[in-house]
Amino acid sequence: MTPTDDWLAGFLAAERLPASYAQTIEAVAAPLAQQIAGRVEQAGALVVGVCGAQASGKSTLTAVVKRLLEIRGLKVALFSLDDIYLTRAERQALAAEVHPLLATRGVPGTHDVAWGEALLEDLRKPGPTLLPAFDKASDDRKPGAVFEGPADVVLFEGWCVGAAPQGPSALAQPINDLERYLDPGGVWRTYANAALAGPYRDLFSRLGMLVLLQAPGFEVVLDWRIEQERKLRERLTREGGDASRVMSDDQVEAFIRHYERLTRWILEEMPRRADIVVRLDKQRRASL
């Protein structure tokens, strides 16, 4: 199904997307929605995991797919792995008890996985479910919206949704200066990898379909993330907002090194087993 011109124009305007994004909707989002709808028609309710590196456009693509599925008459719930972070206090406790790097949200071990599993279960049932939400400015949870179930489709997106653990030998050597100097004994990366092998594996086993947005490589992801932060600074400055919390280029680079190991591993390992791979070029132009 191709969206109507009126719907498409309204969506692009609401999301502040360039007209060129219509090509992504036609070439990627619409076929993806069609495949998901076909699975639901054949087998019933479906949980779809959407994995993509930071600044890869996964949130926008997932929002488009949600709307296209709703146009087909399906009830669709959407939430992000980011929405189920542990609270700030819980992460600070982990940082004190296990490793200081666990105060920084994002890596496996910093999410409330049991809550995620309960959400996926509740969204299959009739009645209201409170969707999670997270305020990155305050680095803590905030009230979410209520979804009236049951959902025909749950779209579950996140930078490491569906990720598999690495083998123990892969953890021996640090891959960047953050690991070399802040995790010399490998405690932090081992903890994150063990979380993937345990609780996260149980959570991701609930996925009925896995979609990967495949970036060309990690260094491109770094460029995208820097560009994203610069645009945020420009927007806040233009609108009179507080740009003081926006990261500098050096701060973005230091921040994203927390995710380098698993991002590289996902790009290497996941394409072989993902149900659908959306390939991105350096300009984030997408194709199936």
pLDDT digits (tens, 9 = 90+) for 176-218: 999 999 999 999 999 999 999 999 999 999 999 999 999 999 9
Mean pLDDT value across the chain: 92
262 located within any domain: yes
Residue carrying structure tokens 């350096």: 282
Average pLDDT over residues 92-102: 97
For residue 242, the model assigns a pLDDT of 74
Rounded CA gap, 24 and 284, in Å? 10
138 located within any domain: no
Tell me the residue type at 283: Q
Burial classification of residue 127, based on how many CB atoms lie within 10 Å of its CB (0-12 exposed, 13-18 middle, 19 or more buried): exposed
For residue 90, the model assigns a pLDDT of 96
For residue 230, the model assigns a pLDDT of 83
Rounded CA gap, 176 and 63, in Å? 34
230 located within any domain: yes
Average pLDDT over residues 77-105: 96
42 located within any domain: yes
Highest mean pLDDT (candidates 19-23, 135-139, 211-215): 211-215
Antiparallel, parallel or unpaired: β 153-158 and 76-80: parallel
Give how far Cα 278 sits from Cα of 78, 80, 113, 164, 284, Å: 19, 18, 26, 19, 10
110 located within any domain: no
Does residue 4 have a pLDDT over 90? no
Structural domain span for residue 178? 23-76+155-287
- Is pLDDT larger for residue 135 or for residue 146? 146
Q: At 143, list the tokens.
A: 């009230």
112 located within any domain: no
Confidence of residue 10 (pLDDT cuts 50, 70, 90): confident
147 located within any domain: no
How many separate domains does the chain show?
Answer: 1
Confidence of residue 69 (pLDDT cuts 50, 70, 90): very high
CATH number (domain holding residue 160)? 3.40.50.300
Confidence of residue 15 (pLDDT cuts 50, 70, 90): confident
Summarised one tens digit per residue, pLDDT across range 260-276 is: 999 999 999 999 999 99
12 located within any domain: no
For residue 20, the model assigns a pLDDT of 85
Question: Dihedral angle at the C-alpha atoms of 269, 272, 275, 278, nearest 10 degrees?
Answer: 70
